Every structure is written in C-alpha cells, then in structure tokens.
Structure 1
Amino acid sequence: MSDNYIPVVDFEAYNLERKECLQEDLTKIGKQLVDAFSSIGFVYIKNHGISEADPSLPGDYKEAFNIDGNLFTRNKSEWPDDIAPGFSCKIKDFMERAKKLSLRILHALDEFFFNKCHSKIHTSNNPTTARSLYYPPLPDDLLPQQMRFGDHSDNTSISLVFQDDVGGLQVKGFDGCYVDAKPIRDTVLVNVGDILQHWTNGKLKSTVRRVVAKAHERQGRSTRRSLVYFVLPHNDGLFNEPLVYKDESLNSEDDLSIKPILLEKWLFEKMKQFWEVTRLQKQKKC
C-alpha cells in the first residue's frame, strides 16, 4: 500500500489561531473529513494549531495516566508535579486546546447536532479523557504474536492521537490487511469512534486498529509514547435518539423501536462486554 493510504487534511482555515471560519472553507474541510471517515475512518490533520511542546509529557512512571474532565471542576486535585514539574499546567493547557480542536472538527462534520452533544466536555457530566501512554522496552521473551495493543476500536465520538516517531500503530484496511499509520510531523491523527459510527448509521467508519512491536524496537530496546484525547458526548445524552445527518435521516426502524438508553449506561455495558471477553481469553490461555 502507498504511504498516503490515510489522507491528510489541511486545517489551516479553521485552526486554533483563527476565531472563525468562512462557510466555503468549513464546507470544504467538512467534505474532506467525511470522505476520509467514510472510507478508512482515519485522517491526519495538519496546521491544526496545537504546538509540538504540548504532548511531550513524562510517562516513565506509569503505563497509562488518565485525566478526565473532573479535574476542571474539583477544587483540589492531586498531581505528580513533584516528580514532573509543570505537569498539571501543561496537561490542562493541552486538554483545553484539544477540546477546542475537537469541537471544530465536529463542527466541520455537522454544524449543530454534534456540537450540542459535546457541549459539556470538561465537566463532571462528560467522560472525555486524555491518556498519556508509555510502552516500555520490549523483553527478550516476548510471546509469539504478542502486540503492544491488540485489535480494538474506540468507544468514542472521535479520538485525537499524538504519537512519537517510533511508529507501530496500524489500521485495518478495506481488504482486511493492516497498514501502518506512520507518524507525520506536525500532524494529529484523528479517527472515528463507535459512537460516531452508530450515529451516522455506519457512514463514518470506526476502524479497527492495533499497535505492533516494530523490528527496530526489538533491536534497539526503545520505548514508545503517545498522548490520546478521547472525545465523548455528555453522560445524560440519549445514545440512540433519532438523528438527521446532513438533511438525511440515518436511523433505522430498529433504532427507533429500542428503548432510549443514556450514553453513560451504554458505555458501561460496552466496557462490561470488553472485560468479559478479556477474562474468557485469559482463561483459554491458562
């Protein structure tokens, strides 16, 4: 496959340094995003307005460090600033800028519905989360076919992925084969999650991905780091409410006959299914 299998969209006309976007530019960007999300489900966004300095956060002490919107509402939060000076200020600044960029991406996709459903980001009523990931050096006794992160999709609306230059992220293509989502300097990799796929009745694709151990990692004993911003709607929103997307109804009769379910409950059920599958897989290996 070619290196440009995942398309690159220029976000210059609506980047974080601009207060507004001309309608013609918004329409153009929206079409490019829909085209990408309707096919591969991933897109690189360049000229987005988030500097490279934001995602360079220490991850040596934990495999993952999750930060949700409650940090903006609590009067007092505990931070590892003693071992990582300035961590709290940097992550808060990053999350605010990631929120702003996410809302602009959603606005480009749909000018009303998506923004309304994500209006409570960084409050106690919204599970949007930033995650700092650290992948340690690979051991010599790595099991056959063992990966950094197995096959999965995101239970999100969209996800923003800031990765280092080590690589390893792969996306499942139309033919069932995996292609490398190679790091491109000064871009953020954006993917559709299960929620957006559901809301658009499958028009926008939540593509399966994985993180594999590359040959140079095994040889060089290198580490891998990434920073991901998982964007979700507010908890008390209806996950299966009727949706009209771009003047076209996307709900099937089955969707509308199902008893309404809040997003918070839907996420809980999804996570319960995930951990049950994981438990069964572990039992089979034993």
Structure 2
Amino acid sequence: MSETAAPEHTIPVFDLREQARQPDEFARCLGRAYRQWGFVGVQQHGVPDAVIEHALDAAEALFALPAATKLQYAGSPGGARGYTPFAREVAKGAAVHDLKEFWHVGRELAAPRYAQLQPNIWPQEQPAFRAAALTLYAELERVGQQLLQALARYLDLPADWFAARTDQGNSILRVLHYPPLPDEPPAGSLRAAAHEDINLITLLVGSRQSGLEIQSRQGDWVPVSLLPGTIVVNIGDILQRLTNGLLPSTTHRVVNPTGPAARVSRYSVPFFLHPNPDMDLSVLPQCVSADNPQRYAPITAHEFLQERLREIGLL
C-alpha cells in the first residue's frame, strides 16, 4: 500500500478502507507520512457529505445571529463550551488576537466520570444546530478512533491502546467563523496565526474557502486545499509529547485572503480529539533512545490542557 499526494494539496492522502485490508501496512505508511508532514488527508472515511454540509450550513446560520444574542452563550471557563467572541483567542507567542469567533461542542454524557467535562451550551435561536453538531461530532470521533488504532500499531502498542484512554476525553468540535476582513486589519493579524494544536489528533472538515497553510520541515509555508471528500488530520502536542517528538505537531495557520475573497466569511469545523483528563502523558518508553533522549516531563492531560489554555488567552 502507498499513500498518494497531488500538487494542489501536497500532503499524503490515504484511503481509510485500506486499514481493514492491510492494517500493518496501513499503519506503517501512516506513521511514516506523519513523521514527514505531521498532516495527512483521509478519504473513503464514511462520513456522509450531507452531514458535513449540514454542519457548515448550521454554522453559517449560528454566526449570523446578532452579536448580543451570541454573547448570551459566552463565559464558559476556558471557552470549553458555547460561544467565544471575535478576537478573543491569541496563538501561543503571538502579539495580536486571531480574526475569528467560534462555538465549542463537547461530548454529551448522562453520567460523566470527570468533573472537567462541562455540559454543552445550545443556542435556543438555532435549534437545528444541536443535531447537526452532535452528528458530525460522532462521525469524526469514529474516524479519529480508527486512525488512533493505526497509530497504536505503528508505535508497537495494542490496537485498542487509545480506546480506554479517550472514551471520556474532553474532545471538542470547534465550529469556526472567520468574518469578512475589516478594511484595515490590526497590523500582523491573521485569521489564525501560526500555532500547533493541543490535543492527540485534529480532524478538519470544510472549509468551502482556502487559507490553511502548514509549515514544512524546511520552514516553507505550504497551502493545503481541502479537497471534496477529504478530511485533513494532523498530530497535536499531546501525541507529540507521548511519542517524544517522533510524531510531530506541525505548525499551521489560516492566512488572510485578498481581493473579493476578503469580503467573504470562511467557516470550518475542526474536531480536537483529547484523551481522558487523568491520562498520564509520560513519554512512551519505546520512543526514547540514545539518539532521541526523553524531552518531556510527566504531566496529566488535564494539567497540560490548562497550561495551554492559559497560553492562548482562554484562561
């Protein structure tokens, strides 16, 4: 089995059906691609196009609500659930805030084991949003778990190693809106400044507009087109810690469009797959060697999340 890449998106693209046909070879190729790029595309994943389109339509309707209405749903600690206003989040180390607003949806559980799993906040003015968001949440979590099985194989772990460590993870569906750019954006501001994700892996669907760029190992910025039927999946900082840097959390950004595109909103929906809050993020011993000594101190998933939320201005 081999992954494919095309000039317009550059990152390797995988057919997820191959995981069932050739699990070991799929895991080997996936791990190799992540070591080079930190990002891959996944096709034939089973998420219906209609589910994604419904979620993007629901996002457009949600963010069209008046600012005062949306603000009624803000204020969740750390922005964990509900609405986060425009220009609130700042990338780690950045001098200016991102040009975006977003809404967070978490998992819904009747009896969560962890106090950190806050209840969802739903907009009464857009009742269709709940079903659209939860349906996409479930689909992306399913795909994410399949990819974690492959990564477990690549790391010489049991295929189900991540399952019990993520079954009540604080995973987040972030419904994102990048409004039309102001005539004079703040100097140096981007729709999303260069950053790395916090979590294990991120699955991104949408957008209907371009703008995503990833930084290559050579330091170049590479545009990534979100092709129809493709989910872009990248490694986050937590998985980078677990693997002692073997699987890298790659820097990426969303750049400001120019011309007529600058007057158009951009919507996208990343799913941040997190471990359970009490998961020990100590480096896996098989990822430590004389050539790659241990880089990270032990910490729990919740402690690490809190640390990063403070760094990006949400706590």
**TM-score, normalised relative to structure 1:** 0.80
Pairwise CA RMSD of aligned residues?
Answer: 2.9
Alignment: residue pair count: 260
Identical amino acids, percent of aligned pairs: 25
Does residue 1:33 correspond to 2:30, yes or no? Answer: yes
Task: Provide the C-alpha distance between the structure 1 equivalents of 2:215 and 2:148, rounded to a whole number of angstroms.
Answer: 23
One-letter amino acid matched to 2:16 = F
Alpha-carbon distance, 1:226 to partner: 0.3
Task: Provide the C-alpha distance between the structure 1 equivalents of 2:234 and 2:8, rounded to a whole number of angstroms.
Answer: 17
Pairs within 5 Å for 1:189-228: 189-218=232-261, 221-228=263-270
Q: 1:263 matched to which residue of 2?
A: 301
Q: 2:14 matched to which residue of 1?
A: 9
Task: Provide the C-alpha distance between the structure 1 equivalents of 2:109 and 2:18, rounded to a whole number of angstroms.
Answer: 29
Q: 2:85 matched to which residue of 1?
A: none
One-letter amino acid matched to 2:164 = S
Tell me the SS of whatever aligns to 1:179: strand
Which of 156, 167, 175 is matched with 1:132 structurally?
175
Tell me the SS of whatever aligns to 2:205: strand
Q: 1:18 matched to which residue of 2?
A: none
- Deviations 1:56-98 (CA, angstroms, capped at 9, x unpaired): 23242462110112x2336986522x43343222222211111
In 2 relative to 1, CA 93–45 (structure 1 residues): closer, same or farther, beyond 3 Å? same
Alpha-carbon distance, 1:156 to partner: 0.8
Gaps of 5+ in 2: 1-5, 71-100, 113-118
In 2 relative to 1, CA 119–206 (structure 1 residues): closer, same or farther, beyond 3 Å? same
Alpha-carbon distance, 1:191 to partner: 0.3
Task: Provide the C-alpha distance between the structure 1 equivalents of 2:256 and 2:172, rounded to a whole number of angstroms.
Answer: 25
Which of 182, 189, 211 is matched with 1:146 structurally?
189
Pairs within 5 Å for 1:149-188: 149-188=192-231
Q: 1:17 matched to which residue of 2?
A: none
Q: 1:237 matched to which residue of 2?
A: 279
Task: Provide the C-alpha distance between the structure 2 equivalents of 1:273 and 1:42, rounded to a whole number of angstroms.
Answer: 23
Task: Provide the C-alpha distance between the structure 1 equivalents of 2:216 and 2:193, rounded to a whole number of angstroms.
Answer: 16
Judge which range, 227-236 or 51-60, deviates more: 51-60
Alpha-carbon distance, 1:137 to partner: 1.1
One-letter amino acid matched to 2:28 = K
Q: 1:93 matched to which residue of 2?
A: 135
In 2 relative to 1, CA 177–65 (structure 1 residues): closer, same or farther, beyond 3 Å? same
Q: 2:84 matched to which residue of 1?
A: none
Gaps of 5+ in 1: 15-20, 280-286
**TM-score, normalised relative to structure 2:** 0.73
Does residue 1:105 correspond to 2:143, yes or no? Answer: no
